[in-house]
Amino acid sequence: MSSKITFSFGKNWMDFNKHVSEEEIQMAQEDLVFWIGKENISGKRILDLGCGSGIHSLCLFNLEAGELISFDYDAYSVSATRQYWEKKGKPSNWKILQGSVLDKDFIGQLGNFDLVYSWGVLHHTGNMWQAINNALSMVRENGLFYLTIYKDNNYERSIKVKEHYNSSSALGKKWAISKEIMKLMARRTLGFKNPFSWNRKLDRGMNTYHDLIDWLGGLPYEAASEDEILQWGIANKLQLKRIWCKDGKGSCNYIFFRDSQ
């Protein structure tokens, strides 16, 4: 089976942005306040590393970030984020760039930040641990690192699913999505829930449909256990401020504090 990657995170985000509601944006903003605290955003220098749809960058801007830099490797994600920047009147304290966290020359030009925010990005770079370490290098002393990484108990199966999806025809991809939707509807029926409300909104602003496509197509793909990330934090003398993990193949959210050495 070919493992050729035919998936673009940015194209999926661009499609999502066509349908996003103010309610979803507000939910994403409330989620940021809950996890990070407005006091750690307002007036701070912030990096949205892997800005995706641009919604979280928009929320960080709305929460009065002092200086905001958003970047992504995917050109479509850069375009998606720029749409929000333009709607806000092209503010000078919000810059949007295209680049890779694996490119040390690129990230070396960005400087250090009070908050480096990276939600579900670094496990899709092709070199997760280098990406994590490079991201940490941009967190200044007494700064925060918000990191979300997949913790996948069925990693080998997930890789096979993703490779199959990427090697499928357009029709095959639609069929794979349809099968997953039918599974969701069946589970909701068994749980005595409305099966037709499967496309629920998620706290971070995404809906189930686009999140499902993101999961099926998302290559490159790596994962790390909770213990692996916590041991990495200890090795780098970081303080763990908050953690929340889903079961199974879900993700873990970590917020680390980089104390002055």
Q: How many domains does the chain have?
A: 2
Residue 147 zone, left/alpha/beta (φ > 0; ψ -120 to 50; rest): beta
The whole-angstrom separation of Cα 226 and Cα 241 is: 14
The answer to whether residue 82 sits within a structural domain is: yes
The whole-angstrom separation of Cα 5 and Cα 57 is: 27
The answer to whether residues 194 and 116 belong to one domain is no
- Given 202, 217, 232, which residue is the final one in a domain? 217
The sign of the dihedral angle between the CA atoms of 110, 116, 121, 127 is positive
Question: Tokens for 20?
Answer: 């996003």
CATH of the domain at 22: 3.40.50.150
The whole-angstrom separation of Cα 110 and Cα 212 is: 33
Q: What is the CA radius of gyration of the chain?
A: 18
pTM of the predicted protein model? 0.93
Question: Tokens for 54?
Answer: 């641009």
The answer to whether residues 183 and 82 belong to one domain is no
The answer to whether residues 160 and 242 belong to one domain is no
The answer to whether residue 3 sits within a structural domain is: no
The answer to whether residues 94 and 192 belong to one domain is no
The answer to whether residue 4 sits within a structural domain is: no
Residue 3 confidence (pLDDT) above 80: no
Q: What pLDDT, on a 0 to 100 scale, did the predictor assign at position 205?
A: 64
The answer to whether residues 250 and 228 belong to one domain is yes
The answer to whether residue 52 sits within a structural domain is: yes
The answer to whether residues 145 and 212 belong to one domain is no
Q: Note down the domain range covering 164.
A: 155-217
180-193 residue pLDDT tens? 999 989 988 999 88
| Candidate from 8-12, 85-89, 128-132, 244-248 with smallest mean pLDDT | 244-248
The answer to whether residues 106 and 163 belong to one domain is no
70-105 residue pLDDT tens? 999 999 999 999 999 999 999 999 999 999 999 999
| Candidate from 43-47, 65-69, 149-153 with smallest mean pLDDT | 149-153
Output phi, psi for 23, to 5 deg.
-60, -45
The answer to whether residues 89 and 132 belong to one domain is yes
